[in-house]
Each structure stands twice: as structure tokens, then as C-alpha cells.
Amino acid sequence: METRELSVVAGSFVGFQLLFSVASPLFSSTFIPDYNLLPTTKLTEWNSRLVSTVHALIVGLFCLYILWFDDAVNADPVWGEPGLVKLNVAITCGYLLYDLVLLATNWSTMGDSFFVCHHLAALYAYGYVLTRGVLPYFANFRLISELSTPFVNQRWFYEVLKYPRSARLVVANGMAMAVVFFMVRIFVMPPYWSRVFDTFGTEAFERLGTGAQVAWITSCIALDILNTIWMYKIARGCYKVMMGARARKTKEASPVKQNHVNNHTD
């Protein structure tokens, strides 16, 4: 790993830690009155999710920029010039390390084995990008998934602030979360894997070596399995919300029918 990428990993790790411990509490207590009323465990997760949203917006938008404008990476997905991609991946690695430390130190309240598996699989694969500069297109493409994270976090913010599930903002965010999560994590699977299969048997693929090939394919499979599980949970939650709203509408309408009396007499 070059000095620049190592510095970015370390810098983002420290930066996200400062955002968690200093900037988030200051910002939230100033603009969200109910923030100071939350229990300590909720404050920790609140700050963690705010950091998660900031990270997702940074790397997600950077990812789109690279996909749209980095011709070298798009032309050669395996060995294209990885400069910008390595910078984006280094930011993500710093965040993943910060988040693993946070999970480990707050395991009783925030521990989640799925997130640990996700982080370790991502770090395993991204390590090859940072150390050898390989697979820049595919590494960057995976970061599209971060664009769904702000909606997931916003759902939690609404929940902890005790917004009714039937509130328009909550419902709108829930629907947006389901749609965006599907688009950036599930819908993109076929084109992604199609591009992967196109590299099989090529000279560029063979140059990777067995280690990089295994890290690439196994980590992608693991991440897609986790994304599918999460999509199922989100879809099930959306179904429950929609059915609940439908039931409430039916219940509200039923007394009207029961109280209707025919006042006409013959």
C-alpha cells in the first residue's frame, strides 16, 4: 500500500472518530432538541448512524463521478488506472475500521454479526485494490450500494424520535429506502456479474493470480448474499407497513357504514 492510500485510511479513521465523538453530538444537540433526551445507548447509535450517513454520501457520490467520468477505469475494469478508485476505497476502509472498533466496544448494544461479516469481506477484497491497484472498476461499482444507507439510517432516526409509522415522512422514507436499496444492491447484480463473467479466461483475469481471484469472487458472493437477506427484511417491513395502513383505513371507514341509518319511511 502506498503512503498516500495509507494516509487516507488513517486520516479517514481519525476523521470519522472525531465526527462521531465531537461533531455529531454538537450538531445534533443544537438542531435536534430531542437528541439530549435519548438514553446513552441511543446517543451512541445516533452518532454512529450520522457518521454512516456522511460516509455513504461521500463515497457514493464519488463512486458515481468515477463511473461517469473515469474513462481509464471503465475501459479496463481489471487493470485500469486506479488512482481515484484507490482514494475512494481508502476512505471506505478507514470508515470500516472505525466502525469495527465501535461495534467491538459497544457489542452488547450495537453488535451485529451481519455487519461484522460485511465489513470483513469488504476489507478483504479492498485490500487487493489498495496494495496491487487491481479491479478498480469492480471495487468502485460495489460502492454504489452506499447510496441506500442514508435512507436506512433515516428510518432509524424517525423511529427513535417516536415518529408514528403512519406519518407521511416515515412512509415516504420507507418507500424510498426500499426502492433505492433494490436499485443499488439487487438490480445491479446481473450487469455486475455479467461484466465479471466477461473477464473470465482473459489475459487480464489470469494476471490477477489465484489469491486476488478468490478474494474478489468470494467477497462479492458473500456481500450479495447479505444484501439479499437485507432486501428481504426491508421488503417484509414495507409489506407490514402497507398492510397496516390498509387495515387502519378499513377500520376508520367501517363505523361510517355501521352508523348509516335509512331515515326514509314508506
Residue by residue, pLDDT tens for the chain (266 residues) are 678 889 999 999 999 999 999 999 999 999 998 999 999 989 999 999 999 999 999 999 999 999 999 988 888 999 988 899 999 999 999 999 999 999 999 998 888 888 898 888 889 889 889 998 899 999 999 999 999 999 999 999 999 999 998 888 998 998 999 999 999 999 999 999 999 999 999 999 999 999 889 988 998 998 899 899 989 988 888 777 777 666 666 666 665 555 444 444 44
CA distance 177 to 235: 10
> Could you tell me the pTM of the whole model?
0.85
Which residue has 481519525 as its cell numbers? Answer: 14
Distances (CA, A) of 12 to 59, 86, 88, 97: 12, 13, 11, 10
